Copies of this chain bind each other. A is one copy, B any other.
Amino acid sequence: MTDRHSALTSLPANDRKGATSSRGATREQVDAAIRTGLLTGRFIPGKAVTIRGLATDLGVSPMPVREVLQRLAAENALEVKSNGRVQVPDMTPDRFDEVLKARLLLEPELAERSLEKLSKRDVKMLTAIDDEIDQCIISGDAEAYMRLNHAFHFHVYRASGSKVLLPLIDSLWLQFAPFMRTVYGRVGTAILVDQHKEAIRAIKQRDRDALRDAIMGDITDGMGLIGKEILETT
């Protein structure tokens, strides 16, 4: 068996001709692979992550993995323990509370900044994503749900062209995503509710306050209700 411990599809294999072989291409691919792995919940909190393991999983040398792990550790998406071991951080009530607070402070602000930049084409795109999300909730596909929910929010946020707030929010998502995945694993996706439709309407009407409210509502719907009690009953 060549498969190691867990889930990460091998890299595009660097197969035939070129692809985009520029400076640091391998590192970028490794970064993207691990990052989406974290955002879709394919890494379990508390579980150790080894450099050589990921390297062989992805079919590359340990070198780019080392650098990517450092990057993700700097974003608090991973935790380097004193022994040098790297793992997905465990969620604690305090951490959860802070992430929730930070999201509520930053995301509405960035959404508002995106508002003027969002075109009709973006609205169409967001509607399409939201439709897919609804299907995922019905079908119970947690991983696809997480991927699409991320796509929805960041399609809005990216429109702002932000170089400061966006990376901060990026860091936050990387921190809570693995935990949320375990939540969905327990309670299922049926209970999920969001305010994406309210957000889309607010964007259409160019209503800043309505957009802020929708984003804040969406965050509290997604995190505020569920997470707390899970953490407390563990």
Interface residues of A (CB under 8 A from B): 22-24, 66-68, 70-76, 80, 82-84, 94-95, 98-99, 101-102, 105-106, 109, 161-165, 167-168, 171-172, 175
Name the contact of A98 in the complex, choosing from B22, B105, B163 (C-beta under 8 A). Answer: B163
Complex Cα gap A67–B94 (Å) = 29
B109 x A105 contact (CB < 8 A): yes
Chain B positions within 8 Å of A109 at CB level: 101, 105
B165 x A102 contact (CB < 8 A): yes
A-B CB contact pairs (8 Å), 22 listed: A23-B82, A23-B84, A24-B80, A24-B84, A68-B70, A70-B71, A71-B71, A71-B73, A74-B75, A76-B167, A95-B163, A98-B162, A99-B164, A101-B109, A102-B164, A102-B168, A106-B106, A164-B172, A164-B175, A167-B171, A168-B168, A168-B172
Chain B positions within 8 Å of A101 at CB level: 109, 165
Name the contact of A67 in the complex, choosing from B67, B161, B171 (C-beta under 8 A). Answer: B67
Chain B positions within 8 Å of A82 at CB level: 22-23
Closest Cβ of chain B to A179, distance in Å, is 12
B102 x A106 contact (CB < 8 A): yes
Chain B positions within 8 Å of A71 at CB level: 70-71, 73-74
**Given A70-B74, A105-B105, A167-B171, list of 8 further CB < 8 A pairs?**
A66-B67, A71-B73, A72-B74, A75-B75, A98-B163, A102-B164, A102-B165, A105-B106
Chain B positions within 8 Å of A67 at CB level: 66-67, 70
Complex Cα gap A55–B209 (Å) = 50
Q: Chain B: which residue is nearest A23 at the CB level? A: B84
Chain B positions within 8 Å of A72 at CB level: 74
Asked whether A95 and B172 contact (CB < 8 A) given A23-B84, A67-B67, A67-B70, the answer is no
Complex Cα gap A98–B24 (Å) = 28
Name the contact of A165 in the complex, choosing from B66, B98, B167 (C-beta under 8 A). Answer: B98
Chain B positions within 8 Å of A73 at CB level: 71
B23 x A95 contact (CB < 8 A): no
Chain B positions within 8 Å of A164 at CB level: 76, 95, 98-99, 102, 172, 175
A94 x B163 contact (CB < 8 A): yes
